[in-house]
Structure formats: C-alpha cells, structure tokens
Structure 1
C-alpha cells in the first residue's frame, strides 16, 4: 500500500478539517465596501468618463428607450442577436454527403474502365463472364431486381474513359441567330422510304435504281446488312442505289446458317433483318453498335414464337444485342400484333409480309399507332403492285397482304423526311420570317403525317401551305424591328401525335409558358419517357408541378438527346433560351448531315459549308510581304540581290 506524500512547500493535510487554513474565510475578515470604493476612487481621472461628456459625444436618439445606451461605437446591431438566425435547410448535410459520394463513384467507375483495358484480349469472354457472375452475387445483396442488376453491369462495361492527354470533346453550343428567317432550300430527303424500297427489292429480287438517296449511317448500315443475308445492292457516290436482283432474300427454302449480321445503330434496321429472316430457315447471330445493346427486345422475344422463330440473347439476362435468331419458316396466316411492340417493329413486319409464302392478315386493333403505320406502308404497297386490303371498324383494324414481287416503275425518289421538314417549317414560330422547302410531300406516301403536321400547325396558329412545288410557312412577316411576335395558341393535348412528331409538338406547345414564365402542361401519351420530358423542361427553365409549369433556374448541364426528333426539338428550344448545350450532336448528323450547316448559317442558310472569306482588298493593292527563305548556301555564294515573292 502506498501513501500519498505532500510537497514540503505545503504541509497541510487536505483532509484535516480542523486545520484553520482549510476553513472558509469569514466574511467579516473581507475588506468593506468602503474600501473597494476607495480603491476605485484612486483610479486615474483620465479613465473616468463623465456622463455629461458621454451625452455630448453620443446624445440619446428619440427612438431609443429611456435608460438604454446607444451602441453606435460597436457598429450596426446584429439582426440575429435575439436568436432568430435561420437554420440550414433540412437534409442539407445529407445532400452534401450524397454529392461527394457521387463524385467518388465517378472516380471509381473511371478507374474500373481503365483496368478493363489492361486485361488480355485472349479469353475476353471468360473475363466478362467471371466479372458478371461476381457482380450479380454482390449486387443481389442490395437489390432484388435482377433486370436492373444486369443493366447496371452492361452500362459499366460500356464506359470508356478518354486518355488524359486526349482533347476532351466539348458540348455543341446551340446559339442560333435570332433574326427573321428567309429560308429557301430543298426539302430534306427521307432515309426511311429508301430502306423500305431496298428491303422490298431484296425480298423479291427486283431490279431497280433508287435516286437521290441520302447516304447517311442508317441507309448504309441497312444496305450492308441486307447484303450480308444475300441481297445484291450497290451504291454510288451521287446518291444512287442499284438493286441488282439475284436470288430473293425471303420466301424460299435455302437455309441461311451460322452467319453474323451487323445492323448498325438504328432499331428499324434490326427489325427489318429479323422479320425478313423469319420467312426462311435461319440460324444467325445479330450484332450492332452500342445503341442497340440496351434496346428492349423483350416484346420481340415474346412475339417471334408466334412466327415460328426464337430470339435469345448472347449475354444471359441482357435485353439488347448481340442476339441469336433461330427460325423454322413455318409462318401463320393470321397475326395479332400486341400493343407492346414498337412502332418501328410493326412497320418492319408489314414490309416483310410481302415476302411470305401465303396470304397473311395482320391484326393491328390493339396497337396504339396502328393507323399511323398503315398510312405509311399501304401507299407503298399499292405503288409497287403488292396487293393489300385494309379493313377498318370502330375498334378494329387489320391489313390483309398477298405476297408478291415488287414492281418498280422508273427510279423512285426518297421523298421528304417528315420530322426534319416539320422542324424547319416550325422555325418562324420562334423568330418570325418564312421557310420554303422545294419537294413533293406526296412522294413520301405518308398522307397521314402530312395531315398531322398541318393540323398541329393550325392548332398553334401557323398556316402551312402545301403545293405541287413544295411547302412553305410564314409567321410574323412585316414586323418592325423590336416588335414582338404574335403569341401562339395554347395546345393542351398531344396524345394523338406519333412518336416522331411528339418532341416538335411539345416544344411548340410550351413556347407561351417559356415566355410567360409559367403555364399549362400539355397532356402527353402514356408511352413517353417522363424523365426525358422533365430534363428537357429544365433546359428551358421550367418544371412540372401537376398540370402546371412553374419557372426554375435553367439547367447548365449539357443535354444528351435520346433520339433524332428530341435533338431537333432542343435546337428549336435554343431560340427561346440561347446557349443550350447538346452533348451528342451526331444523333442529328447521322440522319441529316447538313442540318447543323443550315442551323449555323441562319437566317439565310446554306446546306454546304461556307468557303473561307476572301480579303476585301485585292492582291495588287496590298503591300508585298517578305518571305524569309531558309538556305544552307554559303554567304560567299549568295546572290547580290534577293527577290522576295508575294506570300499567298
């Protein structure tokens, strides 16, 4: 046992209460108040402030209560002095942590992508299979949605990080000239009708020449895909496509086995190849670009067994490409199209029925866009000599097709791209002026689309004029400089618009809401992507609250368009709010290569790039410039006089 020792300087025991030093001091032993007062009076006179002097220096204001001292010496009074300081919004700390977590996730995803590039190419499929299995085992502990888990893994595999020394691509800044337009151009050519003509020519081995075809990405990928399954198609640089006959691609007994077909990045090309191949015994693998790796093919997988075919994914659990098709060529005589099937797939199905071995009745009563699809295909069938009978009722719609070889008379033209032409014609609604497009709308064979565009423009207060020479629309002509355009009519229902024209109708319908900073939210079809609509509105400085549009701070984040029509709609929205940024302008160039040339040269556009401007002064009037000539000639051999030619 140890005893606590005390310092020799303090010999008292702290536990000894009898020690007088441990007793509290008696109050009587303390100095009296008078002593403290005397000590205070001994202070220097300079430290004592006279009340009269203080009042002269800072008189009491009228608003101050009696007895309060003014506080001018300490500065303005803090308005939060009484404890009413506002508290930070609820969840602000949690949001900050989530933002930091998102930044860390992006860094980890980039690191994962770089590590994937270091894996050896040999055994790549084994590496991916092992990673997928490990991912599904780990992710299943936090999510019970196996479809979502597979989609996340597929997205992670597609991430590509640009090297640090590579120049990062910047977003495309949309800042069109906000002046009255004076546009006179040929109407943009369609890339859908030439692909339908190529498929029908290849299906029956017809010989023809298609003229004026835009040789863009979808057309070229469709041509190459048809050639991979037996077609004989050739293209020329002047926009001609030569269909050279040969053997029919569909409707005969020669099987096509163990072949790989590349369909590009357009879903319509994929559906064309699929429905053409179900007409013959086939076993092939279909691949495509990254855009088709995430397309939802589940409706196709459920529908193809009705046609005696089966579509399976190469990657287990992944909805899109690559996929394998197995077909028995045992086709039914009646087909009921489900409502879940994409409109592009329904159009490709009707095109492929021209190559079947028997008559077929396609029931479109349950499909929401059945009338739109039939209005496109039926005029083409009648023009090419393929028999088709339409049956319409109150709630019934069916098309009976008699297979046959397409007969081309002359050289068919591609017709007008309805979506692109409608976007160009709608430009005067934003800045005024006129747009004239030369070309026959009837050549497209889509009378329903023509009527839809005309009715949409009329409901907005725009008058579209259609003649044999072309299309024209004028709005707000003759206005003085600085005078505002007439307001557009409010459109509250867009549910009847086809998917290709819905983005255009949507951006036109919200023009009054943008200018008034609020308005009515138009009704949209149930099939539209709500996330795309909300992000599009944020680019315009609007947000949806129920059936109303309210103003918000516009988004400065570059927008990635999900499709060609939405990108055109965003380019029109930039008339209302300039400097909107589009991160993927190639989605427009893929279908319409000249569009950005037209857009950037408004109000008097051109479809070709501008040549470099020549200098104003002629070359003869400019002083001669000296050009220093590097030479290894010794100085002793140099000429006495050097002539410096004019620099080009």
Structure 2
C-alpha cells in the first residue's frame, strides 16, 4: 500500500512540474487572460467536493499551482546549497540591536502622512512593502539603505483605490484598518500567501467596525477582496478569540485616526492576545498616543484615544531577533560566551517577557546593565525543562534550536501543521528523537548524530532559517538551500553569522561608506523610491 502511494506521489510531483513549466511558457508569450483562467478553474470546479472544508483545500491548491514558479533544472540543489560552518567560540561581542521589525511597520502606518526620519533602520522586504502599500493611498513615505522616513503628505485616501500589499499579512491589516476611517470601497490584492489565506474571522468582525469584506473571486477566502466602509466607527468592539493577531495590531495602529478612537475588548484573553495588546501599547505610547490597557481578570480591554502620532527616533530592540542573539551562549558549546546588546529591552512586556522566560528556562542568564542587555551561560537546567514560547509563533523555531542543545526538553505544541512537520524534518536531519505526548513535544538528544548528511534543507520561513543556522553552531556542516529566506527578513543576517565569533558592533546595518553610495534622495512628489534589488516579495 505504501509503495502505491509513493508511486502516485511521484507522478503528481512530475505532473506539477510539467504544468508549472507549461504555464510559464504561456505567460512568457503574453499570459492567460481572465477568460482562459476561468475556463481552467471550471475544470477544478467540476471536481470540487461537496463539503465546505474539502472545497476550500482544493481552491487553495489551485491558487498555489497558479503561482508556482518552475525551478531551474540546471541548478544542482545537492551542490548549490549554502554551507553553514560558523567559526568556533567562545563568542564575546557587543552589538547595536535592530529595533523591532514589526514595530517599524507599525511606525510606517502611523507616520504615513508625517515628517520623520529613523536612522539606522533595518529596511527589509516587509517594511518596503508596507511603505509601498501606504504610498498607493497617498502616503509620503520613503526608504533609503538604512533609513525609513516620511516627507509629509495630505490625508490618505483609500476610496476607489486598488492597493497591492504583496505577501505580508501585517501590511495588509495595517492598510485595511486605516481604510475603515473613510467611507467608500477599496480593493486589496496580494501574493499567493494572501490569496490562500483564510479571512473568515476578519469578515465576521468588520460589520462591528462599520465595514464589509467582499471576496472578489467566488468561493475564495483570501485576496483579492473589496472592503466597503461606512466611515462610522463604534466607540468599542468585541474581538473574537480566533482573530489573527496581525488584524488586532492593524486595528490598534489605525485607532488614533478614528474620530473618537476605539476600545477593543476580549472576553477571554489568551497569552498571545495579551502580548499583542502590550506590544501595541508600547508602540502607541512611544508615538505620544494616549492608551489605557486593562488586563485585570479573565477579560481584557485596550482603549486608544484619537490623536496625531509623533514618530520617535527609535524603538525597543526586536524581541525575536534579540532572543536568538541572546541564546548564543547556550547554543555555543564552550559555555564561556558572553553577548551584550545595546538598546531598550522592556523585559516585562508581551513578546519580550516570553523571550526572557524561554531563555531562562534553557539556562541562559539575562541581566540588564545600563542601556545594554547581557547574556551568559548559566547552570544547565535541572530535569526536563519546558521551553515555552508563550503563544509567540516567532519564538518557536528558536525553542527547537535550544532543545537541540539540551539532553532532553519539552516544547509547546506548534499551532501550525507546517511547524510540526518542520520539527520532525529537522529532527531527522540532526538525529534528534521527537514525540508528541500530553500536549507537548518531547525532544531528546541521544548524543550520537550522523554528520554525513548534508543535503540542502529548504526552510519554512526566515525564523526557521536562522534557527537552523544556530543549530549548525553545534552541528557544523548543515546546508541551507536558500539563504535569502533569512535575508528577506534581516538583510545582513549572514554578514553577522559569517563574522562570528567577533562581528562588528553595527553588523546589522550597512557601513557608512556603503550607505552613502546607495542613498537615494526622495522625489519631490513621488510615491516611492526604487533601489536596485528592492521590491515586493513574490
């Protein structure tokens, strides 16, 4: 039975490759028009299951196949991967930590019409896409090599616009929430990840905010969508427990622009939601917006007053990247490493607190010294430590990397099947044992690992790519298939990794001479500044 299944899968893979190559040839000659695409979709419609869940999976599969780019057959993945061979420790360095990456996107939304400048800033693909999306609605944002800035602009106008938000979920929610402030309709389009996203919970919430979500493709749950808004926002709204955290954050970043602000309430606040609310409070207060967060009891609420944001010069360091850097003393086997990061570390706030708890559970000692946070290796954890992420999905890959450095530990069950499969995949590569029991993942390290396997591994996302690199500190010789998976999020991550054990203090930012060579002055009335090699993620 298994052999038959394997044979079928082999045929399916071959057909998918053949279809992708044929579709690429058609697009090279002018592409499919809407009539052709509808005709192809009608073939799929005839085969759709009658059950709603099954039909949704088939639709998602169709959209994924339409966006699949054929792989260059001349590339030998077994030879062309990126070898992970970091220099041995101990590591002892001080770095200027990048500011919160999500926070920078929030500042772009809050300052779309303002005059400001933030330098240095990590200008990654997500931030670029947020800037481009708001500029399509009349924003005055621009970016340079290590700078995000605003030249000032009139009020945003989303009415009757078509806004492309790429493949970034937060960019979409930041723009959508801002569009609710004015009456009219706006169309949002995006990449394949947002085309296959499930926006059901968002569609259920919008009527409470005076809006309506209309799927342009019948039966689809993702983009493209049309958002219709009455421009009349309520004083408060109850948010469902299942609403994505990016949607919550997007609404709160738009709330200062609503005529009377907005209060969001939840009847049963999860740790993930509390972390999002605390993070939003941190960003809004940094911009001078009045916020009142109430987390007493099982319910919670956050009230945001209307006001004009004043964009700060910087933000606290990124909680997820900082956690990865502070974990190095445990991941590096000498147990003599010491890492110091310059910047603000609000250790009792949302994701920062969860990162702090995770690191201490793994035996990393964290201390605040003036304007720095310092990490050293503490005593090994006793017993079988539980490496919890507190509901922060961005911390989960790091928790797995820390588990790989310990004899035995348990992890939170990942929320997504993709993360669960990735755990098992990486465990097989590096020789870990992993089993699901009593609501946790139990990870054990037998100590005897096969170092001969170096086939390139395709990372699920940037955080998994960086966690895999950290695993290579103890297990050198791992190979990553596509290093750009990490640089899309953190452009100079490999500059840092390849200069261990002594990276420069500003390794995550371009040297001043290089930055001056790549600086572009903003156009007087332009919407975007284009830099070679920059653009939305496809």
TM-score under structure 2 normalisation? 0.82
- Residue in 1 that maps onto 2:182: 280
1:182 paired with 2:80, answer no
Q: Which runs of 5+ in 1 are unaligned?
A: 1-93, 250-254, 477-485, 514-518, 612-648
State the alpha-carbon separation in 1 of the partners of residues 303 and 53 from structure 2: 45
Q: 2:494 aligns with which of 585, 590, 596?
A: 596
Give the number of equivalent residue pairs: 493
Choose the corresponding residue for 1:219, options 121, 127, 144.
Answer: 127
Matches within 5 A, 1:338-487: 338-368=240-270, 369-408=272-311, 412-431=313-332, 432-442=335-345, 447-475=349-377, 487=380
Structure 1 residues 445 and 383 mapped into 2: Cα distance closer, same or farther (>3 Å)? farther
Question: Quick check: 1:389–1:400 contact (8 Å CA) kept in 2?
Answer: yes
Q: Please state whether the residue corresponding to 2:310 is helix, strand or coil.
A: coil
Task: Flag the 1:275–1:475 CA change in 2: closer, same or farther, 3 A.
Answer: same
Question: Are 2:55 and 1:146 equivalent residues in the alignment?
Answer: yes
Q: Distance in 2 between matches of 1:390 and 1:311?
A: 28
Q: d(CA) in 1 for partners of 2:73 and 2:207?
A: 49
- Map of 1:112 onto structure 2: 19
Judging changes above 3 Å, is the alpha-carbon distance between structure 1 residues 181 and 332 closer, same or farther for their aligned structure 2 residues?
same
Closer, same or farther in 2 for the Cα pair 1:333/1:245, shift >3 Å?
Answer: same
Aligned residue number for residue 201 of structure 1:
111
Distance 2:200 2:38 in 1: 22
Of structures 1 and 2, the larger Rg is shown by 1
Structure 1 residues 372-381 or 503-512, which shifts more? 503-512
1:26-105 correspondence runs (5 A): 94-105=1-12
Indicate how the Cα distance of structure 1 residues 546 and 404 shifts in structure 2: closer, same or farther if over 3 A, else same: closer
Structure 1 residue 504: Cα displacement: 1.6
Q: Could you tell me how far 1:280 is from its partner in structure 2?
A: 0.9
Cα deviation for residue 241 of structure 1 reads 3.1
* Cα separation, 2, equivalents of 1:223 and 1:303: 26
Q: Which has the higher contact order (CA 8 A, sep 6+)?
A: 2
CA change 1:349–1:465 in 2 (3 A) is same
Report if the CA contact (8 A) 1:495-1:524 is conserved: no
Query: What is the distance in 2 between the residues matched to 1:430 and 1:423?
Result: 10
Take 1:236 and 1:161, find their aligned partners in 2: how far apart are those partners? 32
In the other structure, the counterpart of 1:541 is 431
Assess if the C-alpha contact under 8 Å between 2:323 and 2:359 holds in 1. Answer: no
Contact 2:91 2:339 in 1 (8 A): no
Q: Secondary structure at the match of 1:194?
A: helix
Asked if residue 294 in structure 1 is aligned to residue 202 in structure 2, the reply is no
- Alignment RMSD (CA, Å): 3.1
Instruction: Give the Cα–Cα distance (whole angstroms) in 2 for the partners of residues 427 and 407 of structure 1.
Output: 36
TM-score, normalised relative to structure 1: 0.69
Give 3-state SS (helix, strand or coil) of 2:291's partner.
Answer: strand
Q: State the distance in 1 between where 2:400 and 2:508 align.
A: 30
- Distance of aligned partners of 1:116 and 1:384 in 2 relative to their CA distance in 1, 3 Å threshold: closer
CA 1:295/1:176 → structure 2, altered by over 3 Å: closer, same or farther? farther
How far, CA to CA, are the matches of 1:594 and 1:310 in structure 2? 41
CA contact (8 A) 1:216 1:591 kept: yes
CA distance in 1, matches of 2:508, 2:489: 16
The change in CA–CA distance for 1:162 and 1:310 in structure 2 (over 3 A counts) is: same
CA distance in 1, matches of 2:133, 2:457: 31
